[in-house]
Amino acid sequence: MGVLLIPLFRVALPRAAGALVAAALVASCATSTEAPRAAASVRNPSVAADVNVERVILQAYRAIGDRHLFEPDFRTISTETYRGFASVDPAMSLETSDGAFTVKRDGREVMRRNTPGDPADGRAWGGMLAELMAGSLDVSPALQQTDRQALIREAMTATAKQLDRASRYADPDEARDNRFQRDGGGGVGITVERTEDKKIMIRAVQDGSPAGKAGLQVGDQILSIDGDAMVDRTLNDVVSRLRGAVGAPVSITVLRGAPAVELTLGMKRSRIVPTTVVYERRGDVALIHLSGFNSATTDNLKAAMDKARAEIGKDMAGVIIDMRSNRGGLLDQAQTVSELFIGNGTIFSTQGRHPESRRTYKSSNGGKTADLPIVVLMNGGSASAAEIVAAALQDRGRAVVVGSTSYGKGTVQTVVRLANEGELILTWSRLQAPSGYTWNELGVLPNICTSKITDPGKLSTTSVDSGQGTLMRWHALRNPTPQEIADLRKVCPPGDSSPQRDIEIATRLLHDRNLYSHAVQAATQQVARQ
């Protein structure tokens, strides 16, 4: 079964405004579960006749019952699922009692079904709900005339809201984009954005991609694709046109430079995995921007480290891993990225209701960079897989964390690919750092809080030691109350900015080995005292 650490785009952390990867979150993470065909199929052949609402609900309920982190209360979930499904027809209503669910239209009973005795039996509740939905479709013209994908979206969105903040439903279009971000697909290798004046601009060109080889450049304005004008098209429309089958040709017309020149460039799509690793040399320091965790992240990070060693040589002071606003990604990549820097021992563990969700992940490869000083940059937008890496490196004494408290998403999701090609992204386990604490809701506390350091040049052992007592309390908590969480997060409030001061502090630490060692030892000593 595949699992991932869901990047929080479209949930709680905003994606970069107006930008999408046109390179075109566990390798092969989509776990498809087949459900028996419901008794009734779609009623109106003219409206998405190939989409069976009831089958999707059955499949989703089975998955929730089997895999969700907490034992579900399907009585409450089913009530909200039905109300979401029927929301397009105000005449439809659902009345619930201890023993039955009754569907009415304009106050008249349409169908009544006895409720299952076990509120955690997803199969039984899903079957009952499928029958109520089928009966509702029979009597409601509004439901019959509504696109089935829209009905599923309303029903599944209402379902996910009853579970936890990280579980959610992705409709087929979003699910395809999610799969592309995780595993790649056919594309040209550019990132595009839509400006305020509705121009489609190229923001980044991936090295070695079809776009790069054809001569597309950052700053080019896309006018048309295969002769079709892209002016006033949505960003999703443009991205959809750029993606396609590997090997399929595409021509892109752009406007470049001043005075503007119109160019039409042809290329063939190749398999593209969006870039998540960017290396930048800062004197004797390797600055690596790590923006996400997809199927190519570890390999790209290895390549970046090799390039840094070749360029900087034996005098390299250390590495800054910038994971500010990194929303996360694939669980296996969080593990393998951590293994690059950690020798033998525990990286993280997971605990959940399903037996397969309880695991300990360890490194056993010796760590290729086990002796290299590391500073990790985090902010309030750093979540999920980024928090795994930061917590592991901090707990194991392999890095100093600088910045602000992270987002606090310490759960793992599994992806259920549904019969309508959408996805149910379902929380199924909770993460624990090597020391045993969980950062869910709490976040990872940096060793050095940027907001408390006004002059990086005056960073000292005293300023490093100032937060160690809080770090000990932070790591000692096992089941913090909401008030404890709120109070602790005030110590170094999560921020959404990426100030240059973070990099200056990180560089200062790497250039002062005594200060760096003191920061690492102070943190590990606090963990050891728990």
Centre a 10 Å sphere on the Cβ of residue 49 and count the other Cβ atoms it contains. 12
Q: Look up residue 351 and give its DSSP letter.
A: E
Q: Reply yes or no on whether 207 is catalytic.
A: no
H/E run at residue 148 = helix 148-161
Active site annotation includes 307? no
Cα 223 from chain centre: 31
- Report the greatest alpha carbon distance in the chain: 81
Annotated catalytic, 161?
Answer: no
* Cα–Cα distance, 396 to 392 (Å, whole number): 6
Inter-residue contact 208 to 249 (CB < 8 Å): no
Which among 433, 434, 436, 453 is positioned nearest to 444, based on CA atoms? 433
Give the pairing of strands 3-5 and 411-417. antiparallel
> Strand, helix or coil at 493?
coil
| Strand extents, DSSP E, 159-275 | 168-170, 185-187, 190-194, 200-205, 221-225, 228-229, 249-256, 261-268, 270-272
Would you say how long the chain is, in residues?
530
Annotated catalytic residue, options 409, 429, 435, 502:
409
- Name, in order, each residue with C-beta under 8 angstroms of 434's C-beta and a sequence gap of 6 or more: 345, 346, 347, 348, 391, 392, 395, 396
SS3 291: coil
Cis link prior to 456 (omega < 30° from 0)?
Answer: no
Catalytic residue among 89, 171, 220, 395: 395
Q: Render 371-420 in DSSP notation, one character per residue.
A: TS-EEEEE-TT--THHHHHHHHHHHTTS-EEEES------EEEEEEE-TT
Amino acid at 402: V
Asked if 103 contacts 92 with a C-beta cutoff of 8 angstroms, the reply is yes
Q: Are 411 and 431 spatial neighbours (Cβ–Cβ below 8 Å)?
A: yes
For residue 172, give the nearest of 197, 189, 186, 152 by alpha carbon: 152
Of 357, 384, 404, 406, the catalytic one is 384
Task: Name the DSSP letter for residue 458.
Answer: G
Spatial separation of the C-alpha atoms in residues 439 and 391, rounded to whole Å: 9
Tokens of 234: 């949505």
The residues carrying an active-site annotation are 384, 395, 409
